[in-house]
Chain A
């Protein structure tokens, strides 16, 4: 046991068993224990910095979602990862803003992208997409191209959201096929539109 692991491996049993993989320690925490676990990590173990909070969509699995916390200790110079499983039918996790204030925006991002709500969050609203956007775009069942949506009331004169043309791939362009103007995928889209219109008329 190296020195930098000591605060983690000394965790009491209530936090779950730490799993080490390639020098990184992961602790799976029950959903209702996350706030308590974070308080313990910060107060007793010296994990004073919350690096990131991430959402995970394990589409097809049960429980479907997870929230992952990366916490760092500036005194011990080590990192620990906390994982909380979130079932689809009850997507609510305790907010850790009372422990690390920086969790505010991280949790808002997870809420925006995955729709996971955080109990007792001071200001749980969207942070990347605009208020009133109806979807949570990082969910696996949301298409990368997006869905047709209205823009917010202040921006209606800019049109509306239309799905991006995908042409069979996340990004398709053919190298060496003529000039950039010609090989730009939207060129093919407009060509397809033109043939469609011709066929219709």
Chain B
């Protein structure tokens, strides 16, 4: 039984083990589904971060369950909590030790803006010294909000054009320039888990 297939798909070469795609799309697809977080837990948001790692919310569904406590092995820094100036140098140093490509989520009000700590001791948002990709509001954000942030980051990673940038002669903007600006996730409106399950 033979059947002609006429869509943009050559059965002779593509039917078995071959898929044609852009290299960037394939690389981004790999990257976005294996984001290894660096849990920079500085305050109470870290408790929610732990909940996200546990079985009920299960960040493993998004390929990001491998919390690495070494910056050398991690791709995503989740700044969870209040960053005081005394800690800022440490956070920055850990960030600098992470290998590119790397991303950053500012989890919660404190990490995003200093939150309710409007004082001499607290950095008014970690974006003063880190390039934040996703801000998540909430004090603390619900675990679903962090998952929403992670998914937003995955959508963002999918749009990156690292390979294209490598081929670009002038290297303007660097290899890992971001395709879009920071994303704000509204933690207080994050969808709750269904089935009335909280």
**Most A Cβ at <10 Å: residue of B85, B109, B113, B121:** B85
One of A129, A145, A152 near B89 (C-beta < 8 A): A152
Cβ of A44 within 8 Å of any chain B Cβ, yes or no, is no
User: Is the CB–CB distance between B89 and A157 below 8 Å?
Assistant: yes
B186 with A159: CB separation less than 8 A = no
Tell me, in angstroms, the Cα distance from A150 to B132 when the chains sit together.
23
How many A-B pairs fall under 8 Å by CB?
Answer: 89
Chain B's interface size range is 20 to 34
A146, B89: Cβ atoms closer than 8 Å: no
Instruction: Give the residue among B90, B121, B122 with the most A Cβ atoms within 10 A.
Output: B121
For B129, give the chain A residue with the smallest CB separation. A158
Asked whether A159 lies within 8 Å of B90 as measured between CB atoms, the reply is: no
Write the A174-201 contact mask toward B (1 if CB under 8 angstroms, else 0): 0000011100111000000000000000
| A180-B137 in contact given A137-B120, A171-B118, A185-B118 (Cβ < 8 Å) | yes
Task: From the candidates B91, B119, B187, name the one contacting A146 in the complex (CB within 8 A).
Answer: B119
Q: A179: nearest residue on chain B (CB-CB)?
A: B186
B137 engages A151 (CB within 8 Å): no
Residues of B within 8 A of A74 (CB): none
Query: Is the CB–CB distance between A159 and B128 below 8 Å?
Result: yes
Taking CB atoms, residues of chain B closer than 8 Å to A166 are 118
Q: In the complex, what distance in Å separates the CA atom of A145 from the CA atom of B121? A: 8
Contact partner of B122 (CB less than 8 A), chosen from A154, A164, A185, A186, is A164
Q: Which residues on the A side are within 8 Å of B123 (C-beta)?
A: 158
Q: Are A144 and B125 in contact (CB under 8 A)?
A: no
> What 1/0 flags go to B108-142 for Cβ under 8 Å of A?
01000110101111111100110000000110000
Task: Point out residues on B near A: beta carbons under 8 Å.
Answer: 85-86, 88-93, 96, 109, 113-114, 116, 118-125, 128-129, 137-138, 184, 186-189
Q: List chain A positions with a Cβ less than 8 A from chain B.
A: 128-130, 135, 137, 142-147, 151-152, 154-159, 161-166, 170-171, 179-181, 184-186
Top-6 shortest CB links A-B: A155-B89, A146-B120, A158-B88, A158-B92, A158-B129, A186-B113
Q: Besides A129-B86, A152-B89, 13 other CB < 8 A contacts?
A: A130-B85, A144-B120, A146-B120, A155-B88, A157-B93, A157-B96, A158-B123, A158-B129, A159-B129, A170-B118, A181-B186, A186-B114, A186-B124
14 A-B pairs whose Cβ atoms sit less than 8 Å apart in the complex: A143-B120, A146-B121, A155-B93, A158-B91, A159-B88, A163-B120, A170-B118, A180-B137, A180-B138, A180-B187, A180-B188, A184-B113, A185-B118, A186-B125
